[in-house]
Amino acid sequence: MIAFVRFAAASLVLLVVAPAAGLAQSRNVPNALQGFATNRDQPIRIDANSLEVLDQQKKAIFSGNVVVQQGDTTLRSKELVVFYDGKGAGTGAGAANTAKAGEALASGNPMSSSSIRRLEINGSVVVTTKEQTATGDQGVFETASNTITLTGNPVVLTQGPNVIRGKKLTVDLANGASRFEGGRVESLIVPNSVKQMEGAAGAPGAPGAKPAAKPAKPAKPTP
């Protein structure tokens, strides 16, 4: 059961990254999650009111105020469903699949395991970072096609005053391509807003900002 918790949480990192990456690629807005890669080695925490494992149906269900957090990235939803292949743990193929998933977790690369085939995040999906927010009704990750889809009425991506709205956002993790479809796409891009945000991030005292240079010493008076 612990394996399911860790595996689902690690896989959800892809869902966190993808919507914001779609915003960056759609409108030339710099990816606010560029620093997320530095959080890759940080602990992943997943909380829910309950966890139910239905081995006969090959799925595990986290439900009730689901919260996944890694570094400064947080994902919230009402439900997370993990669909997996293979037999239950025990002997033979089931034990082999369990061991393989465990090795994938230990290596820090959950996607190297073939036991997880689909992840569904249902109900009031909200992904937040320091600068961006992505909201929708449902998120789906398919391992076979290596794609992530966020749907909603609407899907809303925001970064500061910049907003993009659509019905369906699909991201291909293999090549990084993203597209809105299923209806008209509305966008509001405020000129220079991204530069201003980048400038604020680099201002003295901001996280990651370089310390200000020391003032030059006054010149000695000429005799």
CATH number of the domain enclosing 47:
2.60.450.10
Asked whether residue 127 is domain-assigned, the answer is: yes
Chain segment 84-114, per-residue pLDDT in tens: 886 544 444 444 444 444 443 333 333 334 4
How far is 205 from 90, CA to CA, in rounded Å?
55
Asked whether residue 60 is domain-assigned, the answer is: yes
Q: Give me the number of domains the chain comprises.
A: 1
Asked whether residue 186 is domain-assigned, the answer is: yes
Task: Please tell me which residue, 18 or 143, carries the higher pLDDT value.
Answer: 143
Chain segment 37-91, per-residue pLDDT in tens: 445 567 777 799 999 999 889 888 999 999 988 788 788 999 989 898 865 444 4
Asked whether residue 20 is domain-assigned, the answer is: yes
Of 47, 76, 51, 77, the closest CA to residue 62 belongs to 51
pTM: 0.60
Residue ranges making up the domain that contains 174: 2-200
- Write down the number of H helices and E strands in the chain: 3, 10
Asked whether residue 219 is domain-assigned, the answer is: no
Task: Please tell me which residue, 154 or 111, carries the higher pLDDT value.
Answer: 154
Asked whether residue 21 is domain-assigned, the answer is: yes
Asked whether residue 87 is domain-assigned, the answer is: yes
Cβ contacts of 49 within 8 Å, gap of 6 or more: 63, 64, 65
Asked whether residue 205 is domain-assigned, the answer is: no
